[in-house]
């Protein structure tokens, strides 16, 4: 898959990622994050966005099993919608919006460095798998 | 009529009905008065008021309330005098009458209290004063019951034949429901007197009960749906297993002829059964879908029954403004738009206080003094407008004034001065951003924003109520032109009563109907005695928080589907009305939660599913561990039962004995080990928590002994958490059985493989 993509570039921890703008509904600052006991670490909690309950996902856990910082009130987040399922991805910093060249799961930023292009469909599927298997374990 | 016509219960019920009816009637009078404003009400309106008081007089007599008979009579007399014109209607009359009627209504609420008699005397005087001509305070008009006043106004026959007045389109605490569907929407068959509409009066609580049952149905459906999904997975697995068998049979491996025949037959049967199972689950899913639609229809229908027009809220607003005018001397005109907009009564009730607050705010801070207004070329009398409209699934209520507006520059300065905003943020903020700070939840801690907005305190209440109802509060303002607060609310809402409590710093909720009691539970206790019943304890601090408790904890006694348990918490907050929101598809597999609600400060609070709590305390089927293939089937033999409770030992002896077992007992693990060294047991049944040597230690010791490597072991316990199950599985325990033990549970555990 080669071509120009409109992406939002952001940082989580020390890593920078890109996500196609068409998935992003909103960039928000999180309200109070409620911890969900018995949920897998991929779920950083839930928070209230305009009266809707929104799960906050930890991208680090979903991509390579490494948890990032706990989601807290005031943290930045991208509100992502895939097939009617809405959730928030916690980020440390939103860098910029750009039109970048995409190549096989990565995009090349202005300084020529490759960035991971996140695939929200897969992230959410992974999250759902983790939640389901956790739920089955606990019964 | 005398009180002797009824027994005490009946009389109490009748009086309750009377009070409700009287409140409706008096509310109607107030509505008519407010509708006409300062001028004398029309002849028709006054006649209607007389009819109400006349009816009240009759019903009060029936239920044996002579004081109310007297007061209603006096009021009727006053209205008759106004109607006749014998007492002039002045600018203050409407206010005075509203005041009297309000006093009468509050007397109705308190009439069983001891000092109610003095109130009656005061009311008598104030009612009579209404009829006193203001110019000469000479002779009060005296009219007797048999006087012509009543007769000329009221058709006695009609009034008496309708014991309960039927009042249409009037704010009342009782909901009118049109019945006899045939009459609705059909053109009248013939001209002539129109068929009177039949109305059914329903106490609101009954509808609320139905609403909450309908809400429960939703939860039930979700539960069933999850189970069926599970069944479907099982059906698929079965089909797959059968395919494996089928494939194995088709590769010509030599098998004894009889065996092949049997297997082929079994394969055929399995195929049929698997197909049937998947057909049945598919059909079940269809039926659940139908159920979902029906529940939806029921809920929407009930909501419509509960709908009422915004008019009652507007009427209330008009009265608030009148009271404010009397209190502050500020004259404000109220304009209402969209009075016929309908919305959920439950929402309407919650909005009374917020609207009052917004009106107070507007009068106290929004509206300039008349001289300032004149200087700006505005009309001297300020106008407050309440607009209602439906927008999709929302009700939008706007409260606007034409006052000075909010000074955003000053507001921005204050936000910086109080350290809420950095100077940079303030510079970047748009007008709208600054205004949003007035209603922003995060500025709520101390009413600073309210105060500096020059809009007084109390916005917090508005914000909290709106948030609790699942709505949004916004504000817009034009300097010198006025301010508008806009409330966007769901048209209807599933309000439920829930018990709120804290565990590990977070607030959780549980449906209040399932909470039957509260108690205290010692640290480490696994059972608790509540009203002579020994109940299992579910430690929520372990389920939801970090580790075991070290102190005595408050606890909720939860009852669901006939099973009771005790749930320890950190702090019980109390019962609240909450709105149930779904957690969304991503978290739906976490069955522990029935949903969530949003607190007044905008935090998400999780609602625990009572059914799941019960299931955790009473695992229905014993936990069977399938991978223990090597353990032999238990038929009978010599069993060792270890429990520190003598009652349990006796019970187990009897149950196992009747199954043909020879039973030995031990009261702790150490003793059991001694006994096991001497005799090879065929079955070990042990408790977990025991003095000296606990259950798990005992089992690990036994497993080290060659003779007990594969012996079936069953754990009986009142606490079976994940950790316990994991350890049990590691030790090759056959089953965990939750106390209280029943014969069935025990047999199932023995049958488990």
Per-residue HEC secondary structure of B263-302 comes to: HHHHHHHHHHHHHHHHHHHHHHHHHHHHHHHHHHHHHHHH
Q: Do A34 and B584 lie within an 8 Å CB cutoff?
A: no
- Scanning the structure block, which residue is given the tokens 């860098």? A95
Q: Which of B472, B586, B720 to mutate to test the interface with A (most CBs of A within 10 A)?
A: B586
Q: Rounded distance, CA B57 to CA B107, Å?
A: 15
Evaluate whether B98 touches B33 at the Cβ level (below 8 Å): yes
Beta pairing class for B332-337 and B382-391: parallel
A50 closest CB neighbour out of B472, B619, B722: B472
- The predicted complex's ipTM stands at 0.94
pLDDT of residue B183: 38
Residues above pLDDT 70, as percent of chain B: 82
pLDDT reported for residue B232: 78
Calculate the average pLDDT of chain B. 76
Please give the pLDDT value at position B567: 94
Look at residue B705 in the predicted model and tell me its pLDDT.
85
Cα B115 to Cα B122: distance, rounded to the nearest angstrom: 12
How far is B301 from B295, CA to CA, in rounded Å? 10
DSSP letter string, B329-346: ---EEEEEE-TT-EEEHH
Contact B584 A36 (CB under 8 A): no
Determine what percent of chain A is predicted with pLDDT higher than 90.
55
pLDDT in tens, B421-443: 778 777 877 887 788 777 764 44
Across the strands, what pairs with A20? A7
Closest approach of B586 to chain A, Cα-based (Å): 6
Tokens read off for B185: 């929407």
Does residue B471 sit at the A interface (CB-CB below 8 Å)? yes
What whole-number distance in Å separates Cα of residue B522 and Cα of residue B538? 12
Q: Please name the residue ranges forming H helices in B85-203.
A: 93-110, 116-130, 148-153, 156-161
Is B591 near chain A, with CB under 8 Å?
A: yes
Tell me which of A28-42, A102-116, B127-141, B696-710 is least confident: B127-141
Do A122 and A111 meet the contact criterion of CB atoms below 8 Å apart?
no
User: Is there a contact between B590 and A53 if contact means CB atoms under 8 Å apart?
Assistant: no
| Pairwise CB contact (< 8 Å): B592 & A138 | yes
In angstroms, rounded to a whole number, what is the distance separating the alpha carbons of residues B155 and B500?
55
pLDDT digits (tens, 9 = 90+) for B374-426: 888 888 889 999 999 988 777 899 999 998 888 888 888 877 887 777 787 77
A39 and chain B: CB distance < 8 Å anywhere?
yes
Which of B557, B567, B578, B573 minimizes the C-alpha distance to B514? B557
Give the residue, B504 or B176, on which the prediction is more confident. B504
pLDDT of residue B588: 81
Do B311 and B171 touch, CB atoms closer than 8 A? Answer: yes
């Amino acid at each position: 898959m080669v071509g120009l993509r409109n992406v939002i570039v952001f940082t989580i921890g020390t890593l920078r990622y890109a996500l196609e703008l068409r998935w992003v509904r909103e960039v928000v600052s999180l309200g109070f994050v409620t911890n969900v006991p018995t949920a897998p670490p991929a779920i950083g909690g839930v928070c209230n966005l305009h009266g809707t309950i929104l799960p906050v996902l930890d991208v680090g856990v979903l991509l390579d099993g490494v948890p990032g910082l706990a989601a807290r009130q005031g943290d930045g987040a991208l509100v992502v919608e895939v097939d009617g399922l809405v959730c928030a991805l916690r980020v440390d910093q939103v860098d910029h919006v750009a039109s970048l060249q995409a190549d096989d799961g990565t995009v090349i930023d202005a300084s020529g460095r490759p960035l991971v292009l996140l695939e929200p469909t897969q992230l959410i599927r992974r999250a759902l798998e983790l939640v389901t298997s956790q739920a089955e374990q606990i019964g | 009529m005398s009180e002797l016509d009824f027994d005490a219960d009946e009389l109490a019920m009748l009086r309750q009905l009377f009070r409700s009816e009287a409140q409706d009637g008096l509310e109607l009078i107030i509505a008519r008065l407010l509708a006409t404003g300062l001028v004398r009400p029309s002849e028709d309106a006054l006649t209607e008021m007389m009819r109400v008081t006349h009816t009240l007089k009759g019903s009060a007599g029936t239920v044996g309330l002579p004081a109310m008979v007297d007061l209603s009579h006096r009021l009727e007399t006053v209205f008759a005098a106004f109607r006749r014109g014998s007492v002039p209607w002045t600018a203050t009359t409407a206010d005075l009458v509203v005041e009297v009627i309000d006093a009468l209504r509050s007397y109705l609420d308190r009439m069983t209290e001891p000092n109610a008699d003095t109130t009656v005397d005061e009311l008598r005087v104030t009612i009579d004063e209404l009829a006193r001509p203001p110019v000469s305070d000479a002779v009060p008009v005296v009219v007797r019951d048999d006087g012509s006043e009543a007769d000329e106004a009221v058709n006695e026959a009609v009034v008496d034949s309708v014991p309960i007045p039927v009042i249409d389109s009037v704010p009342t605490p009782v909901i009118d429901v049109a019945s006899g569907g045939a009459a609705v929407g059909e053109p009248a068959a013939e001209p002539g007197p129109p068929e009177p509409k039949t109305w059914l009066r329903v106490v609101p609580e009954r509808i609320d009960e139905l609403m909450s049952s309908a809400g429960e149905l939703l939860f039930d459906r979700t539960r069933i749906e999850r189970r069926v999904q599970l069944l479907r997975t099982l059906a698929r697995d079965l089909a797959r297993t059968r395919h494996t068998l089928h494939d194995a049979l088709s590769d010509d491996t030599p098998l004894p002829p009889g065996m092949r025949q049997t297997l082929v037959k079994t394969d055929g049967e399995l195929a049929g059964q698997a197909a049937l199972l998947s057909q049945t689950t598919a059909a079940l899913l269809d039926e659940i879908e139908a159920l979902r639609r029906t529940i939806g229809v029921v809920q929407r229908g009930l909501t419509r029954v509960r709908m009422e027009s915004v008019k009652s809220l507007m009427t209330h607003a008009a009265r608030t403004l009148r009271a404010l005018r009397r209190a502050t001397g500020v004259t404000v005109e109220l304009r209402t738009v969209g009075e016929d907009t309908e919305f959920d009564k439950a929402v309407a009730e919650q909005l009374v206080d917020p609207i009052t607050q917004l009106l107070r705010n507007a009068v106290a801070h929004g509206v300039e003094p008349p001289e300032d207004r004149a200087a700006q070329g505005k009309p001297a009398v300020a106008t407050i407008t309440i607009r209602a409209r439906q927008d999709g699934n929302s009700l939008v209520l706007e409260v606007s004034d034409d006052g000075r507006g909010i000074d955003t520059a000053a507001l921005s300065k204050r936000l910086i001065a109080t350290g809420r905003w950095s100077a940079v943020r303030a510079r970047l903020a748009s007008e709208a951003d600054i205004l949003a700070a007035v209603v922003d939840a995060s500025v709520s801690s101390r009413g600073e924003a309210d105060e500096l907005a020059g809009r007084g305190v109390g916005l917090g209440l508005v914000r909290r109520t709106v948030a609790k109802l699942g709505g949004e509060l916004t504000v817009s303002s034009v300097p010198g032109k006025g301010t508008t607060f806009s409330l966007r609310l769901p048209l209807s809402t599933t309000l439920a009563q829930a018990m709120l409590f804290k565990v590990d710093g977070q607030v959780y909720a549980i449906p209040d109907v399932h909470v039957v009691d509260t108690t205290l539970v010692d640290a480490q206790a696994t059972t608790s005695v509540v009203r002579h019943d020994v109940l299992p304890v579910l430690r929520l601090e372990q389920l939801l928080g970090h580790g075991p408790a070290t102190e005595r904890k408050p606890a909720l006694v939860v009852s669901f589907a006939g099973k009771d348990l005790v749930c320890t918490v950190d702090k019980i907050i109390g019962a609240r009305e909450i709105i149930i929101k779904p957690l969304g598809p991503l978290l739906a597999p976490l069955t522990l939660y029935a949903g969530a609600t949003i607190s007044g400060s905008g935090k998400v609070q999780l609602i625990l599913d009572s059914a799941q709590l019960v299931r955790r305390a009473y695992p229905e089927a014993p936990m069977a561990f399938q991978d223990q293939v090597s353990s032999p089937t238990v038929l009978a033999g010599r069993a060792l039962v270890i429990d520190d409770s003598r009652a349990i030992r006796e019970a187990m002896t009897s149950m196992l004995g009747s199954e043909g077992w020879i039973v030995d007992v031990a009261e702790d693990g150490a003793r059991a080990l001694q006994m096991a060294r001497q005799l090879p047991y065929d079955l070990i049944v042990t408790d977990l928590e025991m003095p000296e040597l606990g259950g798990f230690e005992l089992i690990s010791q036994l497993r080290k002994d060659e003779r007990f490597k594969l012996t079936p072991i069953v754990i009986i316990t009142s606490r079976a958490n994940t950790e316990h199950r994991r350890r049990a599985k590691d030790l090759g325990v056959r089953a965990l059985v939750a106390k209280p033990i029943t014969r069935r549970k025990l047999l199932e555990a023995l049958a488990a493989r």
